[in-house]
Structure 1
């Protein structure tokens, strides 16, 4: 279980069974921006306001700080090992197969659930646009999934708010089809969507900052720093908002499809994160200052979690009809309230067009985690099957897309984001530890990008991830143990025995300790080197 796969073997295997390298630094940075700016700012602004009020601006800073130190750790490992697999690959090389499996399994949860959350966020904007733009009232029962609560270890649904989210299913499956067409085609579409998204947020900032009323920012932290219970307050909002930053992780999963990854991966990671952080703070300030961001209260005057049955009941009250925290299309709602309904509809249209770019990157990242785990023998190798025409791993992409659509149909956006964060924070924690261990065990390896002040930055990253995980809502913290237990059953039933490392398979013969010196003679009956038979 503690066997490691050397970085040399990982790199050599990637060269032998590599994905096509087609992404440059600009495309990679745009992919990062496309993955980062999305549901976190278009949709989760409302959920963050419910937890922290205007204090969500501090939450953005806390989450961004943790993400920044994690990004520095990721950059070092991604530049050293420019292959698909992200934190899973790094952990395999440093901490061993069992922990690598746990990280990979957590990343599968992160990406799939994140894609589902963004699909639900897209649904809120498209439904708001339909209602406000053309006046059609979409059936409530088909526009949202049920709300969920944990009864011990058993999730319990409440169907009063809705049964199934039809628009979320449609967008998840549409993006899946685009990804099957190919990486380069997806990146080109994404570049257009990123431009639309950035333009829409710029217009929002220009219209809201001049009308900020400082009275709307008071009380600044109505639920305090930590809140009355887990998941509330400024820190609880930071744990949820962390979801808005994690898109940079998807950049590292694209390392194997990047030209000159030692240079371009750090550029994509840090550049996209810095660009997006500025936008987040300006948009959050504009939203809270323009119309207020105070949370709604439960029937007994208590703080309530966004997405909970008590929250849904509070938002149904006429007095809360205009509250930012109750909107499923927060930014468009702000513009309509301050007297720009047509611009609000236009922003809703921009979100309608742009949010699929985030879904694209989340499904993209998840399929590449599946791909590399299957390539290592921990999952069935049939998952690595490539489409003959499009040269993409279509089997695992289709499987992922269906799973994403099902989750998007049945869960609210806030709960999906918190569940995704639980897997993300675990993976980031392991990366932070891996950087330190590798500095000790392999200090002489070439590091195209070195984490500055690593003995300060990496521990800060690990501690920050653990701190935010602890402040997630209780239900979200319960998911990783259950998901992890299922993963361990699969690992010991299949991966433990089928792992290529366990079976002694050396995919690159030059790395075998008993490899012969000099040219290897051809097998009897083998085609001549360079002949048509060999190529076939």
Structure 2
């Protein structure tokens, strides 16, 4: 156990031990390990294959033309380098908390709190904004099936260009996800797995129908947009891979995490990249690149393409709309899960009140923080238009990717003999290239986004200076130690810690 640091610099720089980390007074020490490799892989796919693939072609093809296929490969490689770094960190530090826990272990408490701010912003805004998107797709599906829509007053926030009273479907979606998460991680994972399989089948249907109208003529002028177009499209596509971070939030609920988490991260990356490229290839073979991005395809591009292929028949586009509704549901569920587990890790470490790390003894889930997350994100989704905040999600995610890549290097230097079931191939070139790719994408974000991001992180770090550093579990050893990753699935025993000398 590291000695207590009494001065501010010492507190800011102290690091969480990889093994034997203390538990804050009054917090639960662990969650139930119930998730296997397949379920965790589906978490990654569920959080990543969302609305992005349903609309990204309409945004990316006009920039790169048919060479958007190369853009998908470039984006997949860039995201893949970050995913590989995640895989090593997840194997070396197999606990909940994602990048927050990795930063705490490698860079110290102050940086970890800043990273936590990035993650909470990323996950919170993403949950709310995704739920708002689900509301729109649900209304469109109701229109297709029953020629009926929810009243505008119940499907729009009270602020915005066309105000309503409340976005009720968005709020209800978050409530349903919260109830699932309270019921249990295994149950949530099962529901997510079913939804992921369904949406992959729907995308498979799109590919099958699209190939009936496939022609290689649409790939003429493959390189006309040049390298600049390819990189611009790759930046757009990169953001559709950000859900891979969600896998690393499940460290405390995974069986054999040192092996399971790297497999799940890399498996999810392989599935997502393959699906994206296959859908893009089928779509490009169906219509010319010039038709992408038109007003008629701006919001429901794949559905419009299916209707055109089938000469006005709408059955396939309706099935695709069902797939979009299912897709967004699973994204919201997994992203909300990730945020609750980050809050659990912070509460267990003492950087947030212990109530965030209280676990229900029957379901072994952090009920308190799930209720808090559900209430806040539900209110945001129902009452606030969030479309303009998507760039904040991008900043938070990219900084998390950078921190993980740098953390790999730091941990290799500081603890070279630490057991690692997976190691980054091509080290140290791979993590360096990962950082460079993320910095390149960050460079293109607008200044106003950086301003809002800086204000939010400033608030979080002020909270750390005023409260968190005084309540950190590293101050006095807490109530015990976090059980190692080999702890049994139903083991509720806390590893004995040192005597409380308060």
TM-score of the aligned structures, taking structure 2 as reference length: 0.84
Distance 1:90 1:522, change over 3 A: closer
Q: CA deviation at 1:137?
A: 4.4
**1:191-340 counterparts in 2 under 5 A?**
191-212=193-214, 234-291=230-287, 321-322=295-296, 324=297, 326-327=298-299, 329-339=300-310, 340=313
Q: Indicate the SS of the match to 2:19.
A: helix
Structure 1 contact 236–468 (Cα < 8 Å) conserved: no
Rounded to whole Å, the distance in 1 between the matches of 2:417 and 2:498 is: 35
* 1:111-134, Cα deviation, whole Å (9 max, x unpaired): 222223332332232222122222
* 1:307-342, Cα deviation, whole Å (9 max, x unpaired): xxxxxxxxxxxxx652x2x21x33223212322410
Rounded to whole Å, the distance in 1 between the matches of 2:66 and 2:385 is: 23
Of 74, 79, 95, the residue aligned with 1:67 is 79
Q: Indicate the SS of the match to 1:211.
A: coil
Q: CA deviation at 1:136?
A: 1.9
Rounded to whole Å, the distance in 2 between the matches of 1:413 and 1:106 is: 17
Structure 1: stretches of 5+ with no match in the other structure: 147-156, 227-232, 298-319, 512-518, 524-536
Q: CA deviation at 1:89?
A: 0.9
Partner of 1:7: 18
Of 385, 405, 416, the residue aligned with 1:443 is 416
User: Does the alignment pair 1:129 with 2:138?
Assistant: no
116-125 or 187-196, which deviates more: 116-125
Partner of 1:358: 331
Partner of 1:507: 480
Structure 1 contact 86–249 (Cα < 8 Å) conserved: yes
Paired residues in the alignment total 474
Rounded to whole Å, the distance in 1 between the matches of 2:226 and 2:386 is: 24
Structure 2: stretches of 5+ with no match in the other structure: 1-11, 485-495
Distance 1:46 1:494, change over 3 A: farther
Rounded to whole Å, the distance in 1 between the matches of 2:272 and 2:354 is: 37
Structure 2 contact 192–330 (Cα < 8 Å) conserved: yes
Distance 1:475 1:133, change over 3 A: farther
User: Does the alignment pair 1:98 with 2:110?
Assistant: yes
Q: CA deviation at 1:55?
A: 5.5
RMSD of aligned alpha carbons: 3.3
Rounded to whole Å, the distance in 1 between the matches of 2:60 and 2:164 is: 22
Rounded to whole Å, the distance in 2 between the matches of 1:412 and 1:286 is: 34
* 1:210-253, Cα deviation, whole Å (9 max, x unpaired): 42456766887998766xxxxxx654543343332122221121
Distance 1:338 1:506, change over 3 A: same
Partner of 1:150: none
Structure 2 contact 82–401 (Cα < 8 Å) conserved: yes
Q: CA deviation at 1:458?
A: 0.6
Rounded to whole Å, the distance in 2 between the matches of 1:75 and 1:510 is: 21
Rounded to whole Å, the distance in 2 between the matches of 1:218 and 1:121 is: 35
User: Does the alignment pair 1:344 with 2:317?
Assistant: yes
Partner of 2:444: 471
Partner of 2:394: 421
Partner of 2:185: 183
Rounded to whole Å, the distance in 2 between the matches of 1:294 and 1:416 is: 29
Of 6, 11, 32, the residue aligned with 1:20 is 32
Rounded to whole Å, the distance in 2 between the matches of 1:115 and 1:291 is: 33
Rounded to whole Å, the distance in 2 between the matches of 1:334 and 1:158 is: 31
User: Does the alignment pair 1:42 with 2:44?
Assistant: no
Distance 1:287 1:404, change over 3 A: farther
* 1:189-226, Cα deviation, whole Å (9 max, x unpaired): 11211111111111101111342456766887998766
Structure 2 contact 167–382 (Cα < 8 Å) conserved: yes
Structure 2 contact 92–419 (Cα < 8 Å) conserved: yes
* 1:51-103, Cα deviation, whole Å (9 max, x unpaired): 66655544433321111011111111111111111111111111111111111
Distance 1:99 1:222, change over 3 A: farther
285-294 or 340-349, which deviates more: 285-294
* 1:322-370, Cα deviation, whole Å (9 max, x unpaired): 2x2x21x332232123224101101212222343111111011111001
Of 119, 123, 126, the residue aligned with 1:114 is 126
Rounded to whole Å, the distance in 1 between the matches of 2:276 and 2:386 is: 19
Distance 1:521 1:388, change over 3 A: closer
Distance 1:52 1:412, change over 3 A: farther
Rounded to whole Å, the distance in 1 between the matches of 2:266 and 2:218 is: 33
Distance 1:185 1:370, change over 3 A: same
User: Does the alignment pair 1:405 with 2:378?
Assistant: yes
Partner of 2:464: 491
Distance 1:128 1:290, change over 3 A: farther
Distance 1:48 1:142, change over 3 A: farther
Distance 1:289 1:403, change over 3 A: farther
Q: Indicate the SS of the match to 2:417.
A: coil
Partner of 1:31: 43
Q: CA deviation at 1:261?
A: 1.1
TM-score of the aligned structures, taking structure 1 as reference length: 0.79
Q: Indicate the SS of the match to 2:416.
A: coil
137-146 or 261-270, which deviates more: 137-146
Q: CA deviation at 1:475?
A: 4.3
